[in-house]
């Protein structure tokens, strides 16, 4: 079995996965959402201290399995350095005491492998990664051959939902709240621009519509409940239309049989519906992770680690360190 740890942002999570069967034996996640909600975003120092309490508490429950652990895996990049370090220190201590190898896992690759939990891998495919920190189109050929073909020039998709929610004082994380409010809103009331609409470049940008929301809220002055619902619906329409427009453009020139959406924001049903239609038009199969594995979790990290374990790709205790940047993708 592999024990995996995730602490790249505000979720403390540990999982245990069987190497041969890929079966998830144990998984527990403690989210800090409520603790950060009043600040309208994650406070790194607070998140780090909460991991220091939550991770050892989860680890206690793993005791019955520790003698069967063959490797310890941990997210080491990209993420908040002060929170990554909590998981990394625990992973190093465990690797030493259990005398097993250490495997550092890239968080983005983890999101991709949320598709393959308790399953075989499926490659090649085009993957849209939409999370709080990233918005990317990735061409994935194999576990060890992945290429970013488009990414955001500024804010990420999930981050823009968080920021709009913050402006409307709706709490954190903003994505699920904005999606919920949008259900009662008129998506055609406000004319949010579609970013990079006239640009040939295949890239994403969310700072423009975020600022459009800011100006709109300032102009409205007395914002009613209906105004909030209408802003959320109109904003979400434009945010998703932008993803669709750029992906469509890319699919015009590159054919794929399989297309997946991963990352915390892939839980958004409005986005899922829009991409179902796009995939139908392009005759490709749409794959999504189970809802419980869309947001950050250690199970996806453990699933990547199985592939590393098979190839004996291990890290030394001295070289594995946290990083806010992703060194893996080109």
Tell me which of Zn ion, ligand KG4, none is bound by residue 161, counting a contact when its beta carbon lies within the kind-specific cut-off of 5 to 8 angstroms: ligand KG4
End-to-end CA distance of the chain: 31
Q: Label residues 289-326 b or e (16+ Cβ within 10 Å = b).
A: beeebbbbbbbbbbbbbbbbbeeeebbeeeebebeeeb
Residue (17 or 131) nearer to Zn ion, CB: 131
Q: Label residues 212-233 b or e (16+ Cβ within 10 Å = b).
A: bbeebbeeeeebeeebbbbbbb
Residue (139 or 296) nearer to Zn ion, CB: 296
Considering only the stretches 16-24, 29-37, 130-138, 237-245, report the one whose residues sit in contact with Zn ion under the rule CB under 5 A. Answer: 130-138
Subset of 133-192 contacting ligand KG4 (CB under 6 A): 133, 158-159, 161-162, 173-176, 179
Per CB under 5 A, 131 contacts Zn ion: yes
Per CB under 6 A, 40 contacts ligand KG4: no
Looking at 264, 309, 315, 322, which residue binds ligand KG4 (CB under 6 A)?
264
- Among 50, 54, 44, smallest CA distance to 14 is for 54
For Zn ion (CB under 5 A), the number of binding residues is 2
CA distance 99 to 315: 13
Note every long-range contact of 16-21, with CB atoms under 8 Å and residues 24 or more positions apart, other chains counting: 16/62, 16/65, 16/69, 16/302, 17/299, 17/302, 17/303, 17/305, 17/306, 19/70, 19/306, 19/309, 19/310
Pairing verdict, β 285-288 and 258-262: parallel
Per CB under 5 A, 6 contacts Zn ion: no
Instruction: Name the minimum Å distance from CB 106 to Zn ion.
Output: 11
CB atoms inside a 10 Å sphere around CB 97: 10
Instruction: Name the minimum Å distance from CB 74 to Zn ion.
Output: 14
Per CB under 6 A, 110 contacts ligand KG4: no
Residue (101 or 173) nearer to ligand KG4, CB: 173
Instruction: Name the minimum Å distance from CB 148 to Zn ion.
Output: 16
- In the block, tokens 């990664």 appear at 129
Per CB under 6 A, 9 contacts ligand KG4: yes
Residue (9 or 103) nearer to Zn ion, CB: 9
Give the three-state DSSP class for 104. Answer: strand
Per CB under 6 A, 322 contacts ligand KG4: no
Residue (295 or 326) nearer to ligand KG4, CB: 295
CB atoms inside a 10 Å sphere around CB 144: 11
Residue (9 or 72) nearer to ligand KG4, CB: 9
Looking at 139, 179, 296, 307, which residue binds Zn ion (CB under 5 A)?
296
Q: Where along the sequence are the contacts to Zn ion (CB under 5 A)?
A: 131, 296
Q: Where along the sequence are the contacts to ligand KG4 (CB under 6 A)?
A: 9, 131-133, 158-159, 161-162, 173-176, 179, 263-265, 267-268, 295-296
């Amino acid at each position: 079995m592999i024990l995996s740890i995730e602490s790249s942002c505000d979720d403390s999570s540990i999982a245990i996965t069987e190497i041969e069967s890929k079966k998830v034996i144990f998984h527990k996640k403690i989210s800090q959402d409520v603790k950060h909600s009043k600040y309208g975003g994650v406070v790194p120092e607070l998140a780090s201290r909460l991991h220091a309490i939550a991770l050892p508490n989860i680890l206690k429950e793993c005791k019955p399995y520790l003698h069967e652990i063959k490797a310890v895996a941990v997210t080491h990049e990209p993420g908040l350095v002060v929170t990554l370090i909590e998981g990394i220190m625990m992973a190093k201590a465990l690797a030493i005491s259990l005398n097993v190898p250490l495997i550092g896992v890239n968080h983005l690759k983890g999101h991709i492998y949320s598709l393959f939990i308790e399953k075989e891998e499926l490659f090649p495919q085009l993957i849209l990664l939409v999370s709080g920190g990233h918005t990317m189109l990735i061409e994935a050929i194999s576990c060890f051959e992945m290429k970013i073909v488009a990414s955001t020039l500024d804010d990420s998709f999930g981050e823009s939902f968080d920021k709009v929610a913050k402006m409307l004082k709706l709490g954190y994380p903003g994505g699920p709240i904005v999606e919920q409010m949008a259900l009662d809103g008129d998506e055609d009331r406000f004319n949010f621009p579609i970013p990079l609409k006239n640009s040939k470049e295949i890239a994403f940008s969310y700072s423009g519509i975020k600022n459009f929301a800011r100006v709109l809220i300032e102009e409205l002055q007395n914002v009613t409940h209906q105004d909030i619902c209408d802003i959320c619906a109109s904003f979400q329409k434009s945010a998703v239309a932008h993803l669709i427009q750029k992906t469509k453009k890319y699919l015009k020139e590159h054919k794929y049989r399989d297309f997946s959406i991963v990352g915390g924001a892939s839980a958004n049903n409005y986005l899922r519906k829009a991409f179902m239609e796009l995939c139908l038009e392009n005759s490709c199969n749409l794959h999504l992770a189970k809802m419980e594995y869309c947001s950050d979790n250690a199970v996806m990290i453990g699933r990547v680690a199985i592939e590393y374990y098979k190839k004996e790709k291990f890290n030394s205790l001295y070289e594995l360190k946290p990083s806010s940047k992703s060194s893996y993708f080109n």
